Amino acid sequence: MTTNLFNIFDPSTMIFNLNLNWLSVMMSIILMPNFIWIMPNRIKWLINKIYVMMNNEILMLYKMKNIKSPSFLFISLFMFILMNNFLGLFPNIFSSSSHMIFSMTLALPFWLFFIIYSIILNTKNMIAHLIPLNTPIYLAPLMTLIETMSIFIRPFSLSIRLTANMIAGHLLMTLLNSNSMMIIIIFIQIIMLIFELCVAMIQSYVFSILSSLYSSE
């Protein structure tokens, strides 16, 4: 039962041993620039509002540190994850954001870039950040070890958070797919779909904001 249940996340469309399901990730990249060419309407107004909100949130983090904000980078990350989360909710479209390889491919390069950048250009502040202020000297080695471990865990926590939340919703909707009590199941599925739409937006927001928070530190 468990094996069959998790098989819904397996790539199944293959030609010459190529998993064509992963082309759904490219669909989000193709769809995103098309919003530029849409005449002024509610969709474009909503997207602009999201851009402004995300930009203000990220600028707030960087102004506290007196650092120039690469907000365009995290806004693009937010939109990319959001589009993939939405596409995964459509029937017969491969849910790429439910796989660790997708989330790790996004989290690991960002984390690695900022770690290398800090080591090369901001070494003293990075080392000083390993020991919180007002830490007793006898606790300094332990706090350094804990902070170092927390830094190395960050890309994995980002990836697991995104993947686990997307998997949970898809599994629950699959378990509710039953032929008995069809009217009640349809009503519950509609509620679950609305809930999953909210989760898709929240998880993309959390991923991008936490990435910007980690980079600002």
Give the rounded percent of residues in the chain with a pLDDT score beyond 70. Answer: 77
pLDDT for 143 equals 80
pLDDT for 180 equals 58
Around 45, how many Cα atoms within 13 Å sit in the side-chain half-sphere? 3
Packed helices 100-121 and 182-216: angle between N→C axes, nearest 10 degrees: 10
Q: What integer is the mean pLDDT of 23-43?
A: 67
| Average pLDDT over the chain, rounded to an integer | 76
pLDDT for 164 equals 85
pLDDT for 39 equals 64
Kindly indicate the confidence band of residue 71, based on its pLDDT and cuts at 50, 70 and 90. confident
C-alpha to C-alpha distance for 115 and 123, rounded to whole angstroms: 10
Query: 186-210, pLDDT tens digit by residue?
Result: 777 788 888 888 888 888 888 888 8
Kindly indicate the confidence band of residue 2, based on its pLDDT and cuts at 50, 70 and 90. very low
Burial of 200: CB neighbours in 10 Å, binned 0-12, 13-18, 19+: buried
